């Protein structure tokens, strides 16, 4: 059978190779629920404006729902000559109810149909990702109470910088994933506009009601320009970008924990349920889940590049190139959801190695900046304090001791302003307790944020 999209204008039949080349049913089948929902709304609107009768609408609706159950049960045969999911469903309708089925495509094109379907698919997928992010945030939050007495070295340049509460560390990721959720919400507003009714490119001469289909399909509104809408895939790009940022957060976190779980760091134990062994080295417990998360993030970011390149040279309006948006789009969502679903239990089940961390907390002069600020509080200009503390640290390094192990006299030799109360700011614990600023690792600040997040995340 020839493709229903080939009208009477064609005098030659389709080359078989084109059929296989042009089909998208192998990957857009997963839009069938959105497509059927969109078609039912469209038919209902056609009946309200009098383009089809109420009886015809009822017949179309019943048959589409029947086709939907067959698709649910994977019983609708695939035929490449029908190209995509839209034509498979429409043809199945026509095969069953003939001319009434032939009316469904009134005032509609596959161009607005596919855009509408993808928008409905994305908004649902965004909601799923948002839920996964919420679960992951809760996993991070669940660590804050139990680990409140643990301190960690904070790093810049992967060199030891300043001490922080472990809970401050857990909250840091909650913030990142919150921004991801805000990006999702913002992106969703632009996704959730109805394309249905712009028809192919210029609109239609038929008296349709786009607001009605938009309302039936729970869109926030209708797109304003048919030419723009027919060509627009910004909402696909934006979604892929939002997912890429999530991927970068997950990838950085994975890298961090891969390092932290080494013998060299020994900061964290990842649950064995998420590790794998080696076929030759019996001692190995490898953090493969995290490595795969780091690796899969490349796919998500690569998909964004694919999509950017796909649209960059397209003149208005619809071009068949746009069919190629689906594999990278679907892959990005599938990948991110899988990554997030594994991240939450890993965060929940991993164990900070408190003894190992504590035994090395006084290494690396994490309290040097606190000492400098202590001197500033005594009235010393920052640049001078910075220089003098550097010299004091240099001496401690030479002697291979912590700052708190230096004698008062040897510190005073560098800065006579120093008195015995200096010891109150030295050592990681004192240093952490000395913080006061908003957003810092000050224990009172961290406690307050934990309480706020508990309320926001509903735990």
List residues with catalytic annotation.
157, 278
Contact with ligand ARG (CB under 6 A): which of 17, 75, 312, 320? 320
Shortest approach of ligand ARG to residue 111 CB, angstroms? 5
Q: Return the number of the residue (227 or 275) whose C-beta is nearest ligand ARG.
A: 227
Shortest approach of ligand ARG to residue 10 CB, angstroms? 14
Distance CA 268, CA 83 (A): 51
Q: Is the peptide bond before 285 cis (omega within 30 degrees of 0)?
A: no
Three-state secondary structure of 310-321: HHCCCCCCCCHH
Q: Return the number of the residue (322 or 442) whose C-beta is nearest ligand ARG.
A: 322
Contact with ligand ARG (CB under 6 A): which of 3, 59, 111, 195? 111
Backbone φ/ψ region at 350: left (φ over 0), alpha (ψ -120 to 50), beta: beta
Shortest approach of ligand ARG to residue 9 CB, angstroms? 14
Under the binding rule (CB under 6 A), the answer on residue 428 touching ligand ARG is: no
Under the binding rule (CB under 6 A), the answer on residue 212 touching ligand ARG is: no
Query: Which residue in this structure is represented by tokens 């934006």?
Result: 238
Under the binding rule (CB under 6 A), the answer on residue 39 touching ligand ARG is: no
Shortest approach of ligand ARG to residue 148 CB, angstroms? 52
Strand pairing category for 221-222 and 193-194: parallel
Q: Which residues, including other chains, have CB under 8 Å from residue 370's CB and lie 6 or more apart?
A: 162, 425, 426, 430, 431, 434
Q: Return the number of the residue (88 or 296) whose C-beta is nearest ligand ARG.
A: 88
Distance CA 196, CA 115 (A): 8
Under the binding rule (CB under 6 A), the answer on residue 24 touching ligand ARG is: yes
Residue 79 DSSP code: -
Shortest approach of ligand ARG to residue 214 CB, angstroms? 20
Q: Return the number of the residue (116 or 297) whose C-beta is nearest ligand ARG.
A: 116
User: Hey, what are 16's tokens?
Assistant: 């078989």
How many residues belong to the chain? 459
Contact with ligand ARG (CB under 6 A): which of 59, 231, 323, 370? 323
Q: Give phi and psi for 349, each to the nearest 5.
A: -100, -5
Q: Return the number of the residue (320 or 383) whose C-beta is nearest ligand ARG.
A: 320
For ligand ARG, which stretch binds (CB under 6 A), given 244-252, 316-324, 328-336, 381-389?
316-324
Strand pairing category for 268-269 and 193-194: unpaired
Distance CA 200, CA 373 (A): 66
Shortest approach of ligand ARG to residue 121 CB, angstroms? 12
How many contiguous H segments (helices) and E segments (strands) does the chain have?
18, 6
Shortest approach of ligand ARG to residue 24 CB, angstroms? 4
Q: Return the number of the residue (230 or 428) whose C-beta is nearest ligand ARG.
A: 230
Shortest approach of ligand ARG to residue 175 CB, angstroms? 38
Under the binding rule (CB under 6 A), the answer on residue 322 touching ligand ARG is: yes
In the chain, % helix, strand, coil (3-state, to 5) comes to 65, 5, 30
Distance CA 339, CA 244 (A): 12
For ligand ARG, which stretch binds (CB under 6 A), given 92-100, 108-116, 155-163, 296-304?
108-116
Q: Return the number of the residue (110 or 181) whose C-beta is nearest ligand ARG.
A: 110
Give yes or no for a contact between 249 and 177, defined as CB atoms under 8 angstroms apart: yes
Give yes or no for a contact between 370 and 434, defined as CB atoms under 8 angstroms apart: yes
Residue of 126, 119, 117 whose CA lies nearest to 242:
126
Scored b (16 or more CB within 10 A) or e, 267-291 reads bbbbeeebbeeeeeeeeeeebebbe
User: Hey, what are 247's tokens?
Assistant: 């991927």
Contact with ligand ARG (CB under 6 A): which of 114, 164, 217, 336? 114
**DSSP β-bridge partners for residue 152:** 164
Shortest approach of ligand ARG to residue 318 CB, angstroms? 6
Contact with ligand ARG (CB under 6 A): which of 103, 108, 110, 294? 110
For ligand ARG, which stretch binds (CB under 6 A), given 129-137, 314-322, 432-440, 451-459?
314-322
Give yes or no for a contact between 178 and 453, defined as CB atoms under 8 angstroms apart: no
Q: Return the number of the residue (24 or 223) whose C-beta is nearest ligand ARG.
A: 24
Subset of residues 83 to 102 that bind ligand ARG, contact rule: CB under 6 A: 84
User: Hey, what are 70's tokens?
Assistant: 């067959």
For ligand ARG, which stretch binds (CB under 6 A), given 54-62, 152-160, 262-270, 317-325?
317-325
For ligand ARG, which stretch binds (CB under 6 A), given 109-117, 274-282, 370-378, 422-430?
109-117
Q: Return the number of the residue (31 or 396) whose C-beta is nearest ligand ARG.
A: 31
- With CB under 6 A as the rule, give the number of residues binding ligand ARG: 10
The residues that touch ligand ARG, with contacts defined as CB under 6 A, are: 24, 28, 84, 110-111, 114, 318, 320, 322-323
């Amino acid at each position: 059978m020839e493709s229903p999209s080939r009208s009477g204008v064609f005098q030659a039949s389709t080359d078989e190779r084109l059929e296989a080349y042009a089909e998208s049913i192998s990957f857009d089948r997963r839009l069938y629920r959105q497509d059927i929902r969109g078609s039912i709304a469209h038919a209902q609107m056609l009946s309200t404006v009098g383009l089809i009768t109420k009886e015809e609408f009822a017949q179309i609706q019943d048959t589409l729902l029947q086709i939907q159950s067959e698709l649910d049960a994977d019983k609708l045969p695939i035929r490449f000559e029908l190209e995509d999911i839209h034509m498979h469903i429409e043809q199945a309708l026509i095969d069953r109810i003939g001319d009434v089925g032939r009316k469904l495509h009134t005032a509609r094109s596959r161009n607005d149909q596919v855009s509408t379907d993808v928008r409905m698919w994305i908004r649902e997928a965004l909601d799923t990702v948002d839920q996964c992010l919420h679960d992951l945030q809760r996993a991070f939050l669940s660590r804050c109470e139990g680990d409140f007495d643990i301190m960690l070295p904070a790093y810049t340049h992967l060199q030891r910088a300043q001490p922080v509460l472990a809970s401050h560390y857990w909250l840091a990721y909650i913030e990142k994933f919150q921004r991801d959720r805000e990006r999702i919400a913002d992106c969703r507003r632009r996704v959730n506009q109805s394309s249905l009714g712009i028809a192919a490119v210029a609109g239609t001469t038929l008296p349709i009601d786009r607001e009605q289909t938009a309302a039936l399909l729970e869109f926030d509104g209708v797109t304003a320009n048919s030419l723009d809408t027919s060509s627009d895939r910004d909402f696909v790009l934006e979604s892929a970008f939002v997912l890429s940022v999530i991927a970068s957060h997950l990838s950085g976190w994975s890298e961090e924990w891969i390092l932290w779980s080494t013998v060299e760091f020994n900061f964290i134990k990842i649950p064995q349920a998420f590790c794998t062994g080696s076929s030759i080295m019996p001692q190995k417990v490898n953090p493969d889940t995290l490595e795969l998360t780091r690796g899969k993030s490349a796919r998500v970011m690569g998909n964004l590049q694919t999509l950017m390149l796909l649209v960059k040279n397209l003149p208005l309006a619809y071009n068949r190139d746009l069919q190629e948006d689906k594999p990278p789009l679907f892959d990005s969502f599938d990948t991110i959801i899988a990554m997030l679903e594994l991240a939450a239990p890993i965060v929940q089940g991993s164990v900070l190695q408190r003894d190992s961390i504590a035994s090395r907390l006084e290494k690396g002069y994490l309290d040097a900046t606190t000492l400098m600020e202590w001197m500033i509080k005594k009235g010393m200009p920052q640049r001078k304090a910075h220089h003098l503390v550097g010299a004091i640290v240099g001496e401690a390094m030479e002697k291979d001791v912590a700052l708190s192990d230096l004698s008062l006299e040897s510190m005073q030799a560098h800065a006579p302003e120093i008195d015995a109360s200096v010891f109150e700011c030295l050592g990681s614990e004192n240093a952490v307790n000395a913080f006061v600023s908003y957003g810092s690792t000050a224990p009172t600040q961290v406690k307050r944020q934990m309480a706020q997040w508990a309320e926001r995340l509903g735990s």
